[in-house]
């Protein structure tokens, strides 16, 4: 059952209708729940204040429930100031229930008799029937639950309006106290509900009014295996899904308490009569400020809201090219950058927004200029209509970089809670002669060269350049992945001190010719086919980057010293490794299929890497619904493990488990803090000394010849995936085994809300949705966070 929870102040019936139509237009719901006293019962037209179908508000709400096929539960107040809970079923029929009826038996019937009246019920256990089972209504969570639980309901609804017990003057002076009180109220209600539902599979959903508008902003869902809180304490809408709370939905490590544990706990503290214990996950939603402010914004296009939208088939996008936001974990923060230029930092400890700023300020286009000089008289023009195209790490662990693109050029900005530096690169300063175009068809003549050495068609058709990934080699040397509509992706090596830029080919001689990617498509129209050049361009851009990730200090069998660089995976399953020591590209094909690309099914959709001793682990998802675990070096590779799926995976992330992962992370942070402080000159001197030493030792016996080839990884990995159906699945990999350990299906990241990226950390998982929401999942048992490596170790 899909549930839409309103956390809104008192609404007029017009507002309620518009918000219901807007929220259910693209994400259908089976039940909508509004807080207590959420609707100002209007004195409209005829029968003022009367709860009957002759009232225009009741008539419109009934029509909406019938058209959208949903149950509607809301609280109003009738002409006699009697609290009423209205329930509309899928046919638009309405039933009145006494709000808080667990203690309301014996009160007068609030219904009205006569033509056009509705059914009225005053019972000790207010409830109604649905195709999923009995749904009960609860007025006060601290009251008696026994009569409701006797009905064995599948869902308990709690529309309430309970203010927070906190001095508002104190909360205004100390905002952190308000956050703490909000979280405390959530946990207190969660524990109370858990103790009441310990022996049942009932789901609890609360709809509360916003903070300072009659309620505490604690709208939530509580199930046996998870809890979800509203995105904020202000006005918002929460889409939930009532899962089938079977034992398979529970996380691993659930167990029954022993007699000794029950006896020992009973002397120390209240056990709430619990006889079973295990981990649960909390689902927090970090909503961008722009999206939160738009929650109560009403649209002027009233008539279009009643139309049923057509199903929008989402295509598989590579490297988040269709994403509206970008997400990057940064220590105890999440950094979210919107396409429009809004950057938000979320504090994971307090789970709230701690800083918001915009990056679309005026920057002059003179390459290598810092922020102070770029705003001087040398600035020629400001960026107009700049769009954020990339969010990446900075040279230090607590820094991050944002790339924006406009018609004038590209701007890179470096932040550490505030702007440190920015660098502008105008399009005319790019070395176009180094940027190889797509190869021409076989038998076609080469492209005409312009006076500056750049192909004429490149200069004519290139409209903008976008940075899709940023990596820092040192404090003044940056490598960035650049892409354009009519050109293949390349690496831009940016020397920020010398103000130089160089284009590096990361495919070795560029993508394949057009005939290699040409697909045969049957057309029914009689229109003439497009020109050969247009068809060539459309087919050639099919080979795109699927993944670009950096590795640091990996000692490959082919090299004597640890290497740092980039791993690039193309859609044609071609893997290219760029090493920073010599700036060379080492390429190979993972799945050696001699067939044409149009006949291939093993095209990668997404991938990630895990650097290790002697090689890199590459985990890739393919269109053939297979996840492959590869071990790759500079010149060789082999498949270590694979697993067959029921749906293609569109996003995945990787976590290394065990002490080895922690040691590697500590070494990486130590190396970043030391080496990235070196100047570019020192870095070049080290590279030159290394090259001289290698050439002088060329006559000596090579140590590489004594090394064994690629070995199977001994690491234990945890792979988190999201497939096309919206199901999140976790796999545990060790040796040649890659097995499923947990499956989670949640409306929060269903097909209606595409997931653009996923990150797996030591104690939590983050999912970035297409609408900008960040779903933060953390796993705890008895209030203590659990590490994912311990939770999904495959033993429990």
Q: Could you tell me which of 597, 576, 600 has the C-alpha nearest to residue 586?
A: 576
Q: Are strands 477-484 and 487-495 parallel, antiparallel or unpaired?
A: antiparallel
Report whether 672 contacts 475 (CB < 8 A).
no
Question: Which residue is listed with tokens 């070494």?
Answer: 667
- Reduce the DSSP state of residue 357 to 3 states and report it: strand
Q: Which two tokens stand for residue 733?
A: 């990999």
pLDDT at position 42 is 54
Virtual torsion, Cα 432, 435, 437, 442, nearest 10 deg:
120
pLDDT at position 60 is 86
Q: Are strands 604-612 and 615-622 parallel, antiparallel or unpaired?
A: antiparallel
pLDDT at position 521 is 37
Q: Which residues of 106-132 are buried (b: 16+ CB within 10 A; e: fewer)?
A: eeeebbbeeeebbebbbeebbbbebee
Q: Are strands 466-472 and 477-484 parallel, antiparallel or unpaired?
A: antiparallel
First to last CA, the chain: 29
Q: Could you tell me which of 302, 241, 224, 286 has the C-alpha nearest to residue 4?
A: 241
Helix (H) or strand (E) holding 292: helix 289-293
Residues 6+ apart with CB under 8 A from 203: 154, 155, 156, 221, 222, 223, 242, 243, 245
pLDDT at position 755 is 86
How far apart (Å, rounded) are the C-alpha atoms in residues 476 and 493?
11
Q: Could you tell me which of 323, 339, 233, 225 has the C-alpha nearest to residue 283?
A: 225
DSSP state of 302: T
Residues 6+ apart with CB under 8 A from 439: 509, 510, 511, 512, 513, 514, 540
Report whether 427 contacts 405 (CB < 8 A).
no
Q: At what angle do helices 13-25 and 56-68 cross, to 10 degrees?
A: 10
Distance of alpha carbon 548 from the chain centroid: 18
Q: Which two tokens stand for residue 561?
A: 């010293």
Superfamily of domain covering 325-439+462-513+541-685+709-791: YVTN repeat-like/Quinoprotein amine dehydrogenase (2.130.10.10)
pLDDT at position 680 is 43
Superfamily of domain covering 2-246+258-277: Carbon-nitrogen hydrolase (3.60.110.10)
Q: Which residues of 751-776 are buried (b: 16+ CB within 10 A; e: fewer)?
A: bbbbbbbbbbeebbbbbbbbbbbbbb
pLDDT at position 597 is 54
pLDDT at position 618 is 93
Residues 6+ apart with CB under 8 A from 193: 141, 204, 222
pLDDT at position 510 is 58
Question: How many Cα atoms are found within 13 Å in the side-chain-facing hemisphere of 78?
Answer: 21
Report whether 183 contacts 233 (CB < 8 A).
no
How far apart (Å, rounded) are the C-alpha atoms in residues 664 and 760?
16
Cβ-count burial of 641 within 10 angstroms (0-12 exposed, 13-18 middle, 19+ buried)?
Answer: buried
Helix (H) or strand (E) holding 264: helix 259-268
Report whether 366 contacts 424 (CB < 8 A).
yes
How far apart (Å, rounded) are the C-alpha atoms in residues 644 and 295?
41
How far apart (Å, rounded) are the C-alpha atoms in residues 672 and 675?
6
DSSP letters spanning 3-37 = EEEEE---B-HHHHHHHHHHHHHSS--SEEE--TT
Report whether 71 contacts 65 (CB < 8 A).
yes
Question: What residue ranges do the domains of the chain occupy?
Answer: 2-246+258-277, 325-439+462-513+541-685+709-791
pLDDT at position 511 is 57
Average pLDDT by consecutive 10-residue portion of the chain (796 residues)?
A: 89 86 85 85 48 76 90 68 73 73 35 43 73 88 85 90 75 77 88 84 91 86 88 86 67 75 56 66 86 69 55 50 85 90 89 84 47 40 69 90 88 88 84 74 43 48 79 90 83 88 81 51 39 38 81 87 91 90 90 59 87 87 91 90 90 81 54 47 46 40 43 87 87 88 70 79 89 88 83 67
How far apart (Å, rounded) are the C-alpha atoms in residues 223 and 206?
12
Report whether 278 contacts 781 (CB < 8 A).
yes
How far apart (Å, rounded) are the C-alpha atoms in residues 288 and 773?
7
Q: Which two tokens stand for residue 449?
A: 């060269």
Question: How many Cα atoms are found within 13 Å in the side-chain-facing hemisphere of 608?
Answer: 18
pTM for the whole structure: 0.79
């Amino acid at each position: 059952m899909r549930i839409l929870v309103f956390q809104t102040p008192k609404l007029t019936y017009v507002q309620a209708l518009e918000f219901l139509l807007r929220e259910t237009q693209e994400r259908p719901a089976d039940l909508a729940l509004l807080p207590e006293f959420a609707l100002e019962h209007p004195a409209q037209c005829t029968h003022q204040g009367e709860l009957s179908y002759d009232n225009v508000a009741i008539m419109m709400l009934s029509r909406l429930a019938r058209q959208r096929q949903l149950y509607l539960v809301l609280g109003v107040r009738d002409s006699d100031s009697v609290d009423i809970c209205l329930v509309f079923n899928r046919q638009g029929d309405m039933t009145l229930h006494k709000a808080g009826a667990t203690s309301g038996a014996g009160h007068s019937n609030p219904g009205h008799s006569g033509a056009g009246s509705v059914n009225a019920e005053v019972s000790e256990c207010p409830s109604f029937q649905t195709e999923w089972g009995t749904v009960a209504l609860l007025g006060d969570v601290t009251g008696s639950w026994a009569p409701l639980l006797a009905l064995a309901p599948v869902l308990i609804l709690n529309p309430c309006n309970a203010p927070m017990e906190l001095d508002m003057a104190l909360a205004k002076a100390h905002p952190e106290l308000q956050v703490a009180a909000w979280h405390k109220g959530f946990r207190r209600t969660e524990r109370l509900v858990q103790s009441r539902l310990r022996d049942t599979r009932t789901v609890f959903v609360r709809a509360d009014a916003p903070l300072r508008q009659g309620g505490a902003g604690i709208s939530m869902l509580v199930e046996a295996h998870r809890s979800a809180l509203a995105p904020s304490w202000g006005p918002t809408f929460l889409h939930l899904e009532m899962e089938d709370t079977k034992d398979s939905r529970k996380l691993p490590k659930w167990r029954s308490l022993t007699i000794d544990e029950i006896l020992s706990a009973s002397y120390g503290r209240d056990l709430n009569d619990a006889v079973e214990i295990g981990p649960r996950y909390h689902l927090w939603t970090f909503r961008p400020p722009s999206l939160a402010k738009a929650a109560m914004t009403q649209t002027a296009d009233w008539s279009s809201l009643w139309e049923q939208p057509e199903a929008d088939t989402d295509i598989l996008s590579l490297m988040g090219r269709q994403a509206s936001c970008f997400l990057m974990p940064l220590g105890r923060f999440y950094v979210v950058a919107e396409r429009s230029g809004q950057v938000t930092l979320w504090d994971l400890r307090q789970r709230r927004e701690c800083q918001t700023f915009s990056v679309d300020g005026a920057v002059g286009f003179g390459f290598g200029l810092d922020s102070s000089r770029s705003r001087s008289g040398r600035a020629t023009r400001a960026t107009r209509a700049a769009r954020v195209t990339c969010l990446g790490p900075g040279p230090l662990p607590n820094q991050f970089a944002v790339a924006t693109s406009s018609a004038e050029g590209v701007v890179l900005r470096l932040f550490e809670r505030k702007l440190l530096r920015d660098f502008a690169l105008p399009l005319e300063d790019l070395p176009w002669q180094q940027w190889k175009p797509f190869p021409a068809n076989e038998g076609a003549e080469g492209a005409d060269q312009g006076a500056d050495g750049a192909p004429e068609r490149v200069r004519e058709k290139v409209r903008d350049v976008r940075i899709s990934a940023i990596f820092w080699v040192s404090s003044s040397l940056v490598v960035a992945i650049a892409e354009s509509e009519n050109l293949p992706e390349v690496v831009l090596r940016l020397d920020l001190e010398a103000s130089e830029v160089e284009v590096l080919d990361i495919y070795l001689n560029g993508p394949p010719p057009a005939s290699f990617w040409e697909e045969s498509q049957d057309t029914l129209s009689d229109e003439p086919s497009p020109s050969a050049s247009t068809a060539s361009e459309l087919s050639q851009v099919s080979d795109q980057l699927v993944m670009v990730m950096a590795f640091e200090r990996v000692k490959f069998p082919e090299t004597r010293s640890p290497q740092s660089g980039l791993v690039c995976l193309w859609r044609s399953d071609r893997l290219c490794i760029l090493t920073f020591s010599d700036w060379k590209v080492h390429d190979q094909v993972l799945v050696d299929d001699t067939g044409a690309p149009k006949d291939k099914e093993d095209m990668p959709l997404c991938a990630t890497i895990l650097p290790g001793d002697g090689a890199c682990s590459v985990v890739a998802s393919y269109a053939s619904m297979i996840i492959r675990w590869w071990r790759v070096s500079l010149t060789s590779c082999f498949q270590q493990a694979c697993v067959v799926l029921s749906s293609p995976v569109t996003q995945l992330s990787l976590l290394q488990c065990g002490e080895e992962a922690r040691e590697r992370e500590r070494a990486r942070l130590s190396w970043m803090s030391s080496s990235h402080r070196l100047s570019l000159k020192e870095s070049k001197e080290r590279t030159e000394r290394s090259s001289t030493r290698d050439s002088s030792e060329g006559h000596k016996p090579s140590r590489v010849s004594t090394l064994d080839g690629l070995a199977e990884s001994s690491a234990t990995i945890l792979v988190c995936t999201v497939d096309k159906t919206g199901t999140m699945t976790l796999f545990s990999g060790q040796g040649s085994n890659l097995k499923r350990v947990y499956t989670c299906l949640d409306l929060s990241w269903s097909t209606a809300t595409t997931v653009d990226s996923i990150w797996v950390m030591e104690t939590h998982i983050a999912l970035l949705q297409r609408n900008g929401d960040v779903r933060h999942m953390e796993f705890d048992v008895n209030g203590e966070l659990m590490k994912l490596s311990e939770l999904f170790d495959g033993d429990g």
